Chains A and B, each alone.
Chain A
Amino acid sequence: MRNLAVALLFALPAALFGWACSLIVFAPPEPPFDWMSQMSVADHDALVAFIDHQYTIAAYAITWAIQLGYLAWLGLRWQAQKRAAGSTASPCRSLPSTNA
């Protein structure tokens, strides 16, 4: 059960990262240099806007993949510490002081 929860915790950032990579890898190719002979200005502008949008969303998705991945890692550490604190016999004390 715990393994499933951990897997789910990291599944969202991993999925976001994969999606972002796919947006970039599978983005349509740039219009050719002599695009004017092959497409209208409106089609060209629409294509460029679409590719730009793919890259923008990819950047946002990667941002969230990093942030949520880090948050998931922090959550795991938090849980691990909770277990470690629970397994010790005595409650936490404040830090020992070396003050003279």
Chain B
Amino acid sequence: MKKISISLYAAITVALLSWGFYQAIYVAPADDRLGGQGELYRIIFYHVPSAMVAFLFFAISLAGSIGYLSFRHRRNAWAQISDAWALAGAEVGVVFCTVVLITGPIWGRRAWGIWWTWDARLTTTLVLWLIYVSYLLLRRFAAGPQVQTLAAVLGIFGALDVPIVYMSNRWWRMQHPAPVFGGDADSGFKDPRMLHAFGWNILAWLAWGLLILLVRYYVERRSQKLAAQEMQDALNA
């Protein structure tokens, strides 16, 4: 039953991604307004949903980190579950944040003529990515009983950058385009078909992200169980 549910969910996700791609490339019209971006704006259908999903997963990592710190002395099983969610959220969040940091400059090269600028949104996003990469490096290379605690603290501080990234192009109007929602009069989608395509792609990337988040969570839980089993075997030997 579980296998059927996962297969069904994966099939729905693939269908959503295909539909989202079709909407983004073939249904949404080109931005032909005076000074519009023509075909280039279609990058937004992958770039912005990836950023949204990354933020969501960093929030999951934050919740997992807080959970780990709360439960580590009282309920070890809950602490390990929280830690697995924290790691899975951080890692999959980094994957989506990497997508954001690569697709953004591809757009910028055509729109601005440069790959990168030290704009507030770009810089804060890069800092966010670096914090979570350092979180993953800490998890990968550090050893000892305090690694999970140190990682949880770093995960909490890393998540503090998320609202700064979100607000950066509202607080400091620099080169990055205004927000799609809640921006000025010129920002946002001018055609409902663009908005529909955007909505489908948010749904599709969220479904995909949750799928790989679950896979990563189960891999981590199994890793924890194997490590606990090895420890138990060593004690019994």
For residue A70, which residues in chain B have a CB less than 8 angstroms away from its CB?
92, 95, 212
- Are A93 and B40 in contact, with the CB atoms below 8 A? no
Closest-CB distance, B205 to chain A (whole angstroms): 9
For residue A71, which residues in chain B have a CB less than 8 angstroms away from its CB?
212, 215
- Are A81 and B233 in contact, with the CB atoms below 8 A? no
- Are A24 and B106 in contact, with the CB atoms below 8 A? yes
Q: Mark A75-89, 1 if CB is under 8 A from B, else 0.
A: 001100100110010
Binding site for A on B (CB under 8 A): 21, 30, 37-40, 42-43, 46-47, 50, 73-77, 80, 92, 95, 98-99, 102-103, 106-107, 109-110, 208, 212, 215-216, 219, 222-226, 228-233
Q: Once bound together, how far apart are the Cα atoms of A36 and B76, in whole Å?
A: 71
Binding site for B on A (CB under 8 A): 24, 48-49, 51-53, 55-56, 58-60, 62-63, 66-67, 70-71, 74, 77-78, 81, 84-85, 88, 90, 92-99
- Are B215 and A74 in contact, with the CB atoms below 8 A? yes
Task: Give 10 A-B pairs besides A63-B46, A97-B75 with Cβ atoms closer than 8 angstroms.
Answer: A49-B38, A53-B39, A55-B109, A63-B99, A70-B92, A71-B212, A96-B228, A96-B232, A97-B76, A99-B75
On whether A62 and B103 interact (CB within 8 A), knowing A52-B38, A55-B40, A95-B77, the answer reads: yes
Q: How many A-B residue pairs have CB under 8 A?
A: 105
For residue A94, which residues in chain B have a CB less than 8 angstroms away from its CB?
77, 225, 228
Q: Once bound together, how far apart are the Cα atoms of A67 and B96, in whole Å?
A: 8
Closest-CB distance, A64 to chain B (whole angstroms): 9
- Are B99 and A67 in contact, with the CB atoms below 8 A? yes
For residue B219, which residues in chain A have a CB less than 8 angstroms away from its CB?
74, 77-78, 81
For residue B233, which residues in chain A have a CB less than 8 angstroms away from its CB?
88, 90
- Are A63 and B216 in contact, with the CB atoms below 8 A? no
- Are A59 and B107 in contact, with the CB atoms below 8 A? yes
